[in-house]
Amino acid sequence: MNIKRLKIYLIFVLVFILSMNFGISKISHGKIDNLVKRAMKEFNVAGVAVVIVKDGKIHHIKGYGYGNLNKRKKVDENTLFAIASNSKAFTTAALSILVDEGKLSWKTKVRDIIPEFKMYNSYVTENFLIEDLLTHRSGLGLGAGDLMFFPDGSNFSIGDIVKVFQYFKPVSPFRTQFDYDNLLYMVAGDVIKRVSGERWEDFVREKIFKPLDMNNSYTNYYFIKDKDMAATPYSGDSGKLVPVNHYTFSLDKLNGAAGGIYSSVKDLSKWLILQINGGRYDVNKRLFSEKNHRKMWTIHTVMQVRGDKRYNTHFMGYGLGWMLYDAKGNMIVTHTGGLPGFLSKTIIIPDINFGMVILTNTSPGGAPLFSAVTKTIVDNFLGLKYKDWIKVYKKRSEKGDSYAKDIVSKVWKTIEQNKDKTIDFISYIGVYEDRWFGKIEIKKKEGYLYFKSFRSPKLQGKMFFYKANTFVVKWRYRDMKADAFAIFCLDEEGKAIRLKMKGVSPDMDFSFDFQDLNFKRVK
């Protein structure tokens, strides 16, 4: 091979390597803008903020659309969004700091710190470890007990939560199956408080936000002094963007360890860089040890591999506050978050020093948007052939919406057909109690049966006869789809003695765990 051909060959190899490992350079700022704007239009999203970091620097950071439609306030890099369950990684980082300080270990038994903690059997209670709080492998079902804090405004306390697990039936043996939970992260927040002497909110602010100069991040909506900095949450369920209330965690009763943080993409760029650097920040400083960083990014709960074959994924599981899998030979570290009107996604590819966060202020459209946008950009970064993920997720969301709407429509059609049927309300009126959710009252109001929860005030509403001994509760709370069947069991005299519930819409958020309720008449 002569010199000229050798040079051409080397140039070709160099270009090939660069195209494989640094493909994101193909995506200009303009193309990212067009991608996000198109997704916003397709999925009817009010506002979006995006940050991409590469090799320790911000590659792209920008806001799109509006944080507040009425005020025409545009989203920028400092606009605050609720990051919801992306807060979980901050909780595991906080515990990592305490482990590094020698104040506890991942194998410390929860009962050694919270003696009143009680699970569904004595073995699990006595052997439940700190790491078990964070891995979604407790044996309990998806979202078990979330009605204690969903919707917001209930009077349940962390003291109630540490004792509530004894009342649930496990759906799998301990440490064998992934079932996402929130309450155990709140218990982890209480562990932080009891070990450090500081509530979760203060510890995260002082030990994580301050060192990272995340000065525009807050552990609770209440702490935001200038509320205009926060995006307004919107619901797009009706086809129009309707503002909903900010979800708020009670400061005196609960903690935000499962999902309380508000932050901006500018601040979260620092969080991404910290994670990519294995816990290092500010050149030579560490927030947590490399050992504990590996612990957080190690699979503790194995999950079945799923997804597009194009990624050649071999493993999938949950670490400590992070979802973990591989794609085209690269480790992927990710998490999503959702609260009424806010949906977010974090994705990190440490092998190529890449990280990305998308924050949105619209549900449900924010979920297909963050999926389509992140997949498009990650595909490019991994050197994969272009795929129109917006089109894919548009089709999926339309199919899912149509399926859910059809089911709900049929339910209300049945209710309309039976509206003139004479119902003996006296058989159902009374006070019922569930062991963990407490008392509710079924009474007559304005010609209807009416459901009222004593401990969760937003869960009240008219009950419409469906069929047999079943009614549908239409909640006064309308920020999310949560209407539920109320199914009564009668005694031999035709009097209701028990009440079970389940959601009407298959699109209902799993945190409305009505299926876990078992009410018995007490009055």
Q: Which CATH superfamily groups domain 24-401?
A: DD-peptidase/beta-lactamase superfamily (3.40.710.10)
| Residue ranges of the chain assigned to CATH 3.40.710.10 | 24-401
Tell me the pLDDT of the chain (523 aa) as tens digits: 455 444 444 444 343 444 444 344 468 899 999 999 999 999 999 999 999 999 999 999 999 999 999 999 999 999 999 999 999 999 999 999 999 999 999 999 999 999 999 999 999 999 999 999 999 999 999 999 999 999 999 999 999 999 999 999 999 999 999 999 999 999 999 999 999 999 999 999 999 999 999 999 999 999 999 999 999 999 999 899 999 999 998 888 999 999 999 999 999 999 999 999 999 998 889 999 999 999 999 999 999 998 788 999 999 999 999 999 999 999 999 999 999 999 999 999 999 999 999 999 999 999 999 999 999 999 999 999 999 999 999 999 999 999 999 999 999 999 999 998 989 999 999 999 999 999 999 999 999 999 999 999 999 999 999 999 999 999 999 999 999 999 999 999 999 999 999 999 999 999 999 999 999 999 9
Phi-psi label, residue 386: left if phi above 0, alpha if psi -120 to 50, beta otherwise: beta
pLDDT of residue 355: 98
Contact between residue 272 and residue 355 where contact means Cβ atoms under 8 Å apart:
yes
- Vertex 514, ends 508 and 516: CA angle to 5°? 130
Q: What is the pLDDT of residue 308?
A: 82
> Could you give the CA distance from residue 323 to residue 318 in angstroms, rounded to a whole number?
5
Nearest to 256 by CA among 335, 180, 202, 327: 202
Instruction: Indicate the burial class of 167 (C-beta count within 10 angstroms; 0-12, 13-18, 19 or more).
Output: middle
Q: Is 383 helix (H, G, I), strand (E, B) or coil?
A: coil
Could you tell me how many helices (H) and strands (E) the chain has, helices first?
12, 24
Residue 26 confidence (pLDDT)? 61
Asked if 249 and 258 count as a contact pair (C-beta separation under 8 A), the reply is no
Q: Rounded to whole angstroms, how far apart are CA atoms 502 and 485?
A: 5
Find the radius of gyration of the CA atoms of the chain: 25
DSSP E strands, 193-277: 234-235, 242-243, 262-263
Question: SS3 of 363, please?
Answer: strand
> Is there a contact between 321 and 334 (Cβ–Cβ < 8 Å)?
no
pLDDT at 376: 96
Tokens coding 450? 């009416």
CATH domain 425-521 topology:
Lipocalin (2.40.128)
User: Look-up: residue for tokens 């301050």?
Assistant: 210
What residue spans in the chain does CATH classification 2.40.128.50 cover?
A: 425-521
For residues 495 and 505, is the Cβ–Cβ distance under 8 A?
no
Query: What pLDDT was estimated at residue 288?
Result: 98
